[in-house]
Amino acid sequence: MSHRFRTGFTLIELLVVIAIIAILAAILFPVFAQAREQARRSACLSNMKQLVTGTMLYAQDYDEVMPAVSYGGMFRPAASCRNGRGYGGGRDGLQDYLTPVLMPYVKNDRVFTCPNGPKNLLPPEGLTTKVQWGQHYWYWCIRDKDALATGKAQGMPDMYADVCGYPLSEFAGPASKVFLCDGNPGFHTSGGTFWDRWGKETSYSNVGYVDGHVKRVTYSSLRDYLEKVWTSRTAQ
């Protein structure tokens, strides 16, 4: 008696296997994406800590005075900053931007880049071309009148957010005074999407404080963001 042996799968069996693989992929891919996003958030917060530590080391080397650089520490017009630094007005120079000022302390320009950050904010190699920001982190070198106007529009108490060139002794509450953050409102959202439309979902920012600690803060409105990130150097 002869026996016939099957050497392949039936169409039904193949379809069942494909369906199982599709279900597993649908379950696992979001988990993997969330894990990758969490890793990027952690890297961004780690960069923040290095920049905060570098700034504090700078201050110790310069009579406990915070760096005086361009608006936000970025490639911005000199007219935007209280100290007149930035490009234009005959005062253009790499010494006016936060990256070269802190490089002796952080030793790596990659810490100025948030892993999720939009690439069009960064300059080419060498920081020789003016672009929108030049880095992914805001340093609060901002005129008080700008911060006051922003707060007033939201019905808030007076905000003196500027830290540019101020001695550490000027900060009434260093543990609550933010001087560095990654991005504007909506720069991050809880899903990790950058530059999302405001109010679509709860957003967060990694922020650094004058006492040297860093943390992630969440907010769900513009006023909430301002209260947590555009903090005042004077007593609250």
* Per-residue confidence (pLDDT) for residue 7, from 0 to 100: 62
The DSSP result for 144-159, as a single string, is HHHHHHHHHHTTPPP-
**Contact 158/136 with Cβ under 8 angstroms?**
no
* Per-residue confidence (pLDDT) for residue 90, from 0 to 100: 47
85-105 residue pLDDT tens: 666 544 455 667 888 889 999
* Per-residue confidence (pLDDT) for residue 153, from 0 to 100: 87
Sign of the CA dihedral 210, 51, 193, 149?
A: positive
* Per-residue confidence (pLDDT) for residue 28, from 0 to 100: 64
* Per-residue confidence (pLDDT) for residue 192, from 0 to 100: 45
* Per-residue confidence (pLDDT) for residue 196, from 0 to 100: 43
178-209 residue pLDDT tens: 999 987 665 665 544 443 444 455 677 889 99
* Per-residue confidence (pLDDT) for residue 54, from 0 to 100: 95
Q: Which residue has the tokens 């920049």?
A: 51
Low pLDDT (below 70) residues in the chain = 1-9, 28-35, 77-95, 123-132, 184-202, 235-236
- H or E stretch covering 115: none
Find the angle CA(42)-CA(197)-CA(202) to the nearest 5 degrees: 50
Overall size of the chain counted in residues? 236
* Per-residue confidence (pLDDT) for residue 15, from 0 to 100: 77
Task: Kindly report whether the global pTM for this prediction surpasses the value 0.85.
Answer: no
Helix (H, G, I), strand (E, B) or coil at 24: helix
Cα separation, 163 vs 95, whole angstroms: 17
* Per-residue confidence (pLDDT) for residue 117, from 0 to 100: 75
* Per-residue confidence (pLDDT) for residue 62, from 0 to 100: 93
* Per-residue confidence (pLDDT) for residue 207, from 0 to 100: 92
Q: Where exactly are the structural domains of the chain?
A: 12-229
* Per-residue confidence (pLDDT) for residue 94, from 0 to 100: 62
